[in-house]
Amino acid sequence: MDAHILVVDDEKTIADLVGIYLQNEGFGVTIAYTGAEAAKAIFEQEFDLAVLDIMLPDIDGFELLRTIRSDRTYPVIMLTARDAQKDKIEGLALGADDYVVKPFRPLELVARVKAQLRRYTRYGSRVAEEDASELSVDGLTINRDARTVTVDDRPVRCTPLEFSILLYLVENRGRVVPVEDLFRAVWGEDFMSSSSNTVMVHIRHLREKLGDDAQNPRFIKNIWGVGYTIEK
């Protein structure tokens, strides 16, 4: 069986339709129609990805996202009819990996699910490309094989996107990585005008987890108008 996916939506027709499309691709699917059902599933089952609706009758999608991110790092796609920029920023800041607005085409959602799962597993399979499974810079250590991050031996729990961003910057340490290059490498999508804000939100969240001061950064430095760098 392929990856196990949690689908949460109080609109039964939509949830069931998404479930059918995912099952047709060979995925295992658990469907929840309320936040309470979803929360129970999150605590009791292991998932590889979650698709969360924001507007639920009891516990909203943001709260479920917080629950997942408290100790889990699998990708989360927010599925919602709300198209406000502030909602997208809030979801990204809480650790969402993608944001799909209703109405949507089921095949597009399936493609996004596959893309997130590829991204989640990609860096764990790269060990053979280089000799070292660990990269270290000034007390920051990334283990590609275990997909772990530590700062001065303190574990740092990162989302898949945060891990990918950090790994890409460390792999390219010593040079400035343009925002456009970072977005294309990590998200695997074409760069758009809104992409800079997406990157900025994730960098800010990542800095908070690393204990990195944006005004006097130890790790991730912002080169205004260009991009980001981690110095050697």
CA 109 to chain centroid: 15
Same-domain pairing of 118 and 205:
no
pLDDT at 124 over 60: no
Distance CA 88, CA 29 (A): 25
Q: In sequence order, what DSSP letters do the residues of 42-111 get, joined into one string? A: HHHS--SEEEEES--SSS-HHHHHHHHHTT--S-EEEEES---HHHHHHHHHTT--EEEESS--HHHHHH
88 and 144 in a single domain? The answer is no
Specify the higher pLDDT residue, 9 or 122: 9
pLDDT for res 48: 93
Whether 36 shows a pLDDT value over 90: the answer reads yes
Number of domains the chain contains: 2
Same domain, 8 and 119: yes
Domain boundary among 64, 89, 123: 123
Tens digit of pLDDT for each residue in 157-173?
Answer: 998 889 999 999 998 88
* Range of the structural domain that residue 225 is part of: 126-230
Domain co-membership, 115 together with 159: no
Higher pLDDT, 166 or 134: 166
Q: How far apart are CA 166 and CA 208, in angstroms?
A: 13
As a whole number, the mean pLDDT across the chain is 86
- pLDDT of 50 higher than 70: yes
In this prediction the pTM is: 0.62
Residues 183-208 have pLDDT tens digits of 988 888 888 878 888 899 999 999 99
Least confident of 78-87, 97-106, 218-227: 78-87
179 shares a domain with 158 = yes
CATH number of residue 144's parent domain = 1.10.10.10
* In the predicted structure, residue 65 carries a pLDDT above the cut 70: yes
- Average pLDDT of 19-29? 95
Structural domain ending residue among the three candidates 104, 123, 142 = 123
Residues 38 and 89 in one domain: yes
The answer on 19 and 96 residing in a single domain is yes
